[in-house]
């Protein structure tokens, strides 16, 4: 990292030294207080900051306190004081204002993210430049690129002086190239082979496949994920005392190669012992026992323990105990190699849904979303019904994303609001086409389709086709909620006319048809329905 700028931070100690003038021991009356050296600020701005006014008695401690106060504003680089004929003068050097911030060479970190990051560090166009902030910029950017394995990145931070005590800030990026993991060295593993462990790692050793997958590129997140995968590999095979002793990186001098070393202690393998459901369980033990996905004496697996915990939370959540808590306390017997498990259950209060708040639907009507909700207002909150509501909203195809969050109602521990936020997407399509065939000549085709017509949730389609031998028109409309319980009704009308033409007629007869149909769909459950239609055709 190289850092060049025109501003040099001055220590407060040097400013204090300027105060050590031959002021009287008992001070003096400051007949007048002056401010010199201002460029951008006005004297009234500084007077409002000073704890000293004209006519006050001042001494060394008072003046030192005033200097500290001015430095604390972050507006000044240097402050000195002088006394002449009982006139106290503060001579200041203002810090410059950032007039412009420029970025060059940044591809991995977009300009918007850099601007937001600088803003959090107090570096914003129009604000005063603090020299300490420049050092923070360097440190933060260095860490950002190091986390992505780009140890050879180089960022130049330069300040360019401009008129009226302003300064332009220029950040020049050389982002470098990510270092590659060329070797993963494992120490202490006997249960799993090196190849098994490396297979579980998110980060891989450099090889021919890395040219395409780039899975040998080092990143801190990938390394953390690899260590978690290693830990899960052992815990799910019963090695409950498994421990990662050390994990370290060795970087080559050219900063392009990384050597990873991981040292482990495996411990011994354990089995499941007794399982107890304690606390305010509410249910009979046999009902909760049915949720166990392991048997006593099986090889211990942390994954199965976590799965049982989630099944318990879901069971209580479906019964209205939405904020139930389950804490798993293992009792490890190192002599017998058995782990007894105690699931401590605190169901809490049953929770009702007070209100469903829908946001993000600028086009789609509220009732179109509400009719898909299986969790109702005034009913007990249910994990299953909330999840099903989310699935049904996604299934409509009207929304790019669907997010449902239960939020506690203040001062009402037995109530929640459901905040449903959706992001809409295009629900229609238009077709225009021109074609040619020997049997039909030139063909023109146009079509319009909407799966969410005017935000009503109704489906609409119109197709028009014309050629030198035939005209075809088709119109269909479907209301998926003809009745409140989800019975759908659809209409379809069509017209087809054949035009005789000696040049393109290929059959020895032609037909003209028009007709329509009426169809109904009846839902059997959440995933199946029965449908029937009745049509009339005149040919």
Instruction: Identify the pLDDT of residue 505.
Output: 54
Q: pTM of the full predicted structure?
A: 0.64
Are 442 and 499 found together in one domain?
yes
Last residue of a domain, one of 114, 145, 174: 174
Q: What is the per-residue pLDDT across 270-329, written as a single tens digit (0 to 9) for each?
A: 999 999 999 998 999 899 999 999 999 999 999 999 999 999 999 999 999 999 999 999
Mean pLDDT calculated for residue range 126-147:
75
Higher-pLDDT residue of 205, 230:
230
Could you please report the per-residue DSSP string of 418-480? EEEEEEE---EEEEEEEEEETTTEEEEEEEEEESSGGGS--EEEEEEEEESSEEEEEEEEEET
Q: Which two tokens stand for residue 100?
A: 């412009």
* Nearest CA among 461, 450, 322, 323 for reference residue 379: 322
Are 450 and 485 found together in one domain?
yes
Evaluate whether 36 touches 190 at the Cβ level (below 8 Å): no
Residue 472 sits at φ, ψ, to 5 deg, of -140, 130
Distance, in Å, from the CA atom of 538 to the CA atom of 528, rounded to the nearest integer, reads 33
Are 222 and 125 found together in one domain?
no
Count up the domains in the chain and report the number. Answer: 6
Residues in contact with 127: Cβ distance below 8 Å, sequence separation at least 6, in sequence order: 97, 98
Are 72 and 132 found together in one domain?
no
Cβ neighbours of 13 (radius 10 Å):
7
* Pairing state between β 32-36 and 87-94: parallel
Q: What is the per-residue pLDDT across 30-65, written as a single tens digit (0 to 9) for each?
A: 888 988 888 878 888 888 888 888 888 888 888 889
Are 249 and 338 found together in one domain?
no
Higher-pLDDT residue of 174, 458:
458
What Cα–Cα distance (Å) separates residue 254 from each residue in 151, 177, 242, 259?
9, 11, 35, 13
Last residue of a domain, one of 398, 422, 446: 422
Last residue of a domain, one of 265, 300, 328: 265
* Nearest CA among 46, 134, 142, 144 for reference residue 94: 46
Distance, in Å, from the CA atom of 178 to the CA atom of 216, rounded to the nearest integer, reads 9
- pLDDT-derived band at 26 (thresholds 50, 70, 90) equals low
Are 169 and 192 found together in one domain?
no
Are 54 and 126 found together in one domain?
no
Distance, in Å, from the CA atom of 530 to the CA atom of 23, rounded to the nearest integer, reads 99
Distance, in Å, from the CA atom of 247 to the CA atom of 224, rounded to the nearest integer, reads 10
Instruction: Identify the pLDDT of residue 405.
Output: 94
Least confident interval from 87-91, 141-145, 293-297, 310-314: 141-145
Are 294 and 208 found together in one domain?
no
Instruction: Identify the pLDDT of residue 314.
Output: 93
Are 275 and 238 found together in one domain?
no
Q: What CATH number does the domain containing 86 carry? A: 3.10.20.310
Evaluate whether 314 touches 347 at the Cβ level (below 8 Å): no
Range(s) of the domain holding residue 360: 352-422
Are 86 and 111 found together in one domain?
no
Are 451 and 500 found together in one domain?
yes
Instruction: Identify the pLDDT of residue 126.
Output: 79
Are 144 and 58 found together in one domain?
no
Task: Say which residue the tokens 């297979």 belong to.
Answer: 199
Does residue 395 register a pLDDT over 80?
yes
């Amino acid at each position: 990292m190289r850092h060049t700028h025109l501003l040099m931070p001055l220590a407060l100690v040097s400013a204090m030294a300027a105060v050590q003038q031959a002021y009287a021991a008992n001070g003096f009356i400051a007949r007048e207080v002056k401010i010199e050296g201002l460029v951008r600020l006005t004297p009234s701005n500084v007077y409002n900051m000073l704890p000293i006014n004209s006519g006050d008695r001042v001494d060394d401690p008072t003046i030192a306190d005033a200097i500290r106060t001015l430095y604390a504003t972050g507006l000044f680089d240097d402050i000195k004081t002088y006394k002449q004929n009982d006139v106290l003068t503060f001579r200041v050097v203002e810090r410059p204002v950032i007039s412009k911030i420029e970025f060059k060479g940044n591809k991995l970190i977009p300009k918007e993210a850099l601007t937001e990051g600088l803003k959090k560090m107090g570096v914003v166009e129009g604000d005063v430049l603090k020299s300490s902030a420049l050092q923070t910029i360097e440190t933060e950017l260095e860490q950002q690129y190091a986390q992505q394995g780009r140890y050879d990145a180089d960022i130049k931070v330069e300040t360019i002086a401009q008129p009226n005590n302003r300064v332009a800030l220029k950040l020049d990026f050389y982002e470098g190239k990510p270092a590659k993991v060329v070797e993963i060295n494992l120490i202490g593993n006997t249960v799993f082979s090196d190849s098994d462990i490396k297979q579980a790692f998110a980060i891989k050793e450099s090889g021919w496949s890395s040219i395409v997958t780039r899975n040998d590129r080092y990143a801190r997140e990938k390394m953390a994920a690899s260590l978690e995968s290693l830990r899960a590999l052992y815990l799910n095979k019963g090695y409950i005392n498994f421990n990662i002793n050390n994990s370290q990186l060795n970087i080559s001098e050219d900063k392009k190669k990384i050597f990873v070393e991981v040292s482990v202690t495996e411990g011994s393998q354990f089995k499941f012992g007794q399982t107890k459901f304690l606390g305010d369980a509410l249910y009979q033990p046999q009902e909760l026992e049915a949720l166990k996905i392991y048997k006593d004496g099986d090889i211990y697996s942390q994954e199965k323990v976590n799965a049982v915990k989630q099944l318990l939370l879901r069971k209580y959540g479906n019964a209205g105990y939405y904020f139930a808590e389950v804490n798993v306390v293992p009792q490890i017997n190192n002599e017998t190699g058995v782990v007894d498990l105690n699931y401590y259950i605190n169901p809490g209060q049953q929770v009702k849904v007070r209100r469903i708040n829908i946001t993000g639907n600028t086009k789609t009507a509220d009732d179109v979303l509400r009719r898909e909700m299986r969790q109702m207002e005034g009913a007990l909150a249910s994990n299953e019904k909330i999840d099903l509501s989310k699935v049904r909203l996604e299934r409509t195809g009207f929304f790019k994303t669907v997010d449902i969050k239960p939020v506690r109602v203040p001062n009402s521990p037995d109530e929640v609001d459901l905040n449903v936020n959706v992001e809409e997407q295009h629900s229609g399509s238009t077709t225009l086409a021109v074609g040619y065939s020997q049997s039909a000549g030139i063909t023109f085709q146009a079509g319009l389709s909407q799966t969410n017509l005017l935000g009503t949730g109704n489906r609409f389609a119109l197709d028009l086709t014309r050629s030198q031998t035939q005209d075809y028109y088709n119109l269909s409309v479907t209301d998926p909620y003809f009745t409140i319980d989800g019975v759908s009704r659809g209409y379809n009308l069509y017209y087809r006319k054949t035009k005789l033409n000696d040049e393109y007629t290929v059959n020895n007869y032609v037909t003209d048809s028009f007709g329509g149909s009426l169809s109904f769909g009846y839902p059997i459950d959440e995933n199946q329905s029965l449908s029937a239609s009745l049509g009339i055709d005149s040919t």
